[in-house]
Amino acid sequence: MIFFGTLGLLQILALPGLILIKALKVRGGLVERMIYCFPLSLLVNYLAVFLLTVAGIYIRLVVLILIALEIFLLVYLFRSSLRQPFSAMIQRFYAAFVSELNPFHQMVPNNKGVYSILSFGIWIVFGCSAVSAVLWGLHVWRLNFGTIFSGQDTLFSWNTFAESWAQNLIPVSHGAYPQLVPTNWSLSYVLQGKDAVQLFNTLIPPVFFLLIFVMLFDLGFQKRESGFFIAAVIARYMMKKLMGDQIADGYMDVPVSFMSLLAVYTLLKGIEKDKFGQFQTIILAVVFASGAAITKQAGLMILALTPFFAAIWLKDGIACISRRKFFLILLIPCMVVLPWYLLCWINSRVPDPASGELLADGIRQFNERYEWSHKLFLARQSLGKYVVFFILSIIGLPLIPKRYRLPFFLCSWPLVIVWAAFFSYDARNLACALPFIALSSGMAVDGGIRWIADLTGMRKISQIKVWIPLTLLIVALLIGLWFLLPEAELSEVQRLKQRELFGKELNEELLYGIIGEEHHEKDILTDYPAYFLSGYKDCCEMADFSDAPAFEWLLSKGTIRYILIPEQIQNHSQDSAVVLDKCVQTGLCRQVGCSAGYYEPYCLYTVSESK
């Protein structure tokens, strides 16, 4: 099981992509080609599974034969590299790595100008923040080890589709659910055979999430633009808030978000390439946009926009496309996208099953029940404080470089408007737009910094007094802390933490569970430090239960209504145990509960007002 599961994971992540990149001599940097490897593998696997299932031969033996052929082909393609000494391979890798670092050397100021040094410093600071986002993506991936799918849509739809493919059956999807990821998951199930586990497939969803940050970092580093770094930071917190556990639980919202961003990333990476490189980039972008369309329906929008973006950014590549090449490019979405949607259209002519009707009815009832104003209110409520970035992406449009302004807007706001109007019941439906909202916001912030620098003459910053930037820095830090750590949230965090002081279970069982959330009467006789707890600051009359006379005197005052005392009080003082027994026997004290939630068990007694 482990061997076949690992083999399936390699097939999903890398094997077909490596072959295509090597065979087609895909141009690009080291990181760029590593990113391409994963989606190319997904697309090849999707087409292979689709064709094998149509032919009725999607079984383990056939898949193993195909993987064996892939391994043979990989050995053949890399035969010259495999014959090289190990030292030569290390040198080649080192040279490629050093080449990737060229933008850093180009950003290092060659003169002692203060403005250029500060610009470099800002780029470094935001770059480190983007690296932090990448590392957090790795952390999310690590946390998915040993998990299973638990999301409702994943269990009832996406993973069920994968199991249908694994049984050599084309799943019937009346909702036109695209099948890029389920077909890939099915490979693991087919290879593992009976009693297949989900362990290996649960490692796939976080890869989409991780690579979003890798792409944003690579763009910021290679293009030497801080806006992409800032976008990575914004995307990290925004997606964490709005997506939550659905990031890594098998929902298709993050994968379609990745595939959509990938098409734009590919085009942006092709801007500096020569004519042939740009032509190759256009083909790759169309391939990835087609992949977005068969990941989830929202990906159809990026497929429609990709030719328009290519015409804006890759004019040299567009110019060398002949009529024959145009039809070859058009053939890509026809082969990748049309078969599934055509099949779904045919299935839609058959009566919808109950599950499909429930989904359609749920969406219809939501839109019939709520007025536009209420749906917009729900949208605003779902976004929380991150609505700031949506506003910034609009009002900051003039600050965004012209080459990015319209493309980033078209990739985000049409989806935002449709979501707010019809699908605001769930923030995950907005996932496809989030990276582009982050990009627009990041570019607006970067543009704003440059605009302020030009407006205030900060290019002559060496003449500014030190106290001015120091004051601005302090103000910016305070604003940032206020935004990231609002007072209400800080107070709530402290309140919750204070509830857990000393004996967490004792607090919940005896104090909060019986006496109440707050108590300020100072009528609880105890040696337990409850006055540190939230809502119990003035709750208690502190006692030393080893001092029996003092214990008896405090009880006789008539102001005590509760006694919180160690269950085995005789271990502290036999005389105090006698005092407590006497109080119980006379009916003045009554035990209402005990808890072992502290280092020693405690019991709570009520004390009657009558003597």
pLDDT: is 422 or 407 the higher one? 407
Give me the percent of the chain exceeding a pLDDT of 70: 91
Give the sign of the dihedral formed by CA 506, CA 507, CA 513, CA 519: positive
- Give 577's contacts (C-beta < 8 A, 6+ positions apart): 569, 570
Question: Mean per-residue pLDDT for 328-344?
Answer: 92
d(CA 57, CA 55): 6
According to the model, what pLDDT value does residue 170 have?
A: 92
Q: Which amino acid is at 374?
A: H
| Domain residue ranges in the chain | 2-369, 502-607
Give the pLDDT confidence score for residue 505 in this predicted structure: 92
Mean per-residue pLDDT, 502-527: 91
Residue 437 has a pLDDT of 97
Per-residue pLDDT of 1-46, as tens digits, reads 789 999 999 999 999 999 999 999 999 899 999 999 999 999 999 9
Which residue carries 């009528």 as its tokens? 523
249 versus 75: which is more confidently predicted? 75
CB 267 within 8 A of CB 314: yes
> What is the mean pLDDT of the segment spanning 372-390?
80
Q: What per-residue confidence (pLDDT) applies to 118?
A: 78
Residues 6+ apart with CB under 8 A from 360: 175, 352
At 347-363, the pLDDT tens digits run 776 655 544 444 555 55
CA 444 vs CA 59, 222, 226, 295, 397: distances in Å: 52, 19, 11, 30, 7
| The model's pTM | 0.78
DSSP state of 397: G
- Among 427, 426, 389, 421, smallest CA distance to 408 is for 389
Q: What is the Cα–Cα distance from 312 to 264, expressed in whole angstroms?
A: 12
Tens of pLDDT, residue by residue over 310-323, are 999 999 999 989 99
Residues 434-460 have pLDDT tens digits of 999 999 999 999 999 888 877 665 555
What's the confidence (pLDDT) of residue 153? 85
pLDDT of residue 351: 56
pLDDT band at 610 (very low <50, low <70, confident <90, very high): low
The H or E element that residue 46 is part of is helix 30-55
Q: How far is CA 135 from CA 244, 286, 572, in A?
A: 17, 30, 53
What is the per-residue pLDDT for 271? 94
pLDDT digits (tens, 9 = 90+) for 173-229: 766 789 999 999 999 999 998 888 898 999 999 999 999 999 999 999 999 999 999
Task: Give the CATH number of domain 502-607.
Answer: 3.40.190
Report the alpha-carbon distance of residue 73 to residue 22 in Å, rounded: 10
Q: How many residues does the chain have?
A: 611
485: pLDDT strictly greater than 60: yes
- Tell me what pLDDT residue 145 has: 87
Query: Across residues 503-526, what is the average pLDDT?
Result: 91
pLDDT category, 406, cuts 50, 70, 90? very high
User: Would you say 19 and 77 are in contact if contact means Cβ atoms under 8 Å apart?
Assistant: yes
Report the chain's mean pLDDT, rounded to a whole number.
Answer: 88
pLDDT at 307 exceeding the cut of 60: yes
Decide if pLDDT at 417 tops 70.
yes
Residue 404 has pLDDT above 90, yes or no: yes
Is residue 430 within 8 A of residue 415, CB to CB? The reply is: yes
Write the pLDDT tens digit of every residue in 220-265: 999 999 999 999 999 999 998 888 878 888 899 999 999 999 999 9
List Cα–Cα distances, 465 to 79, 80, 456, 546, in angstroms. Answer: 63, 61, 13, 66
* pLDDT (0 to 100) of residue 354: 46
Where is mean pLDDT largest: 181-185, 341-345, 594-598? 181-185
Q: Which of 420-429, 484-493, 508-517, 557-566 has the lowest mean pLDDT?
A: 484-493
Band of pLDDT at residue 100, cut at 50, 70 and 90 = confident
Residue 123 pLDDT > 70: yes
HSE-CB at 429 with a 13 A cutoff on CA atoms is 16
More confidently predicted of 527 and 378: 527
Burial level of 418, CB count in 10 A (0-12/13-18/19+)?
A: middle
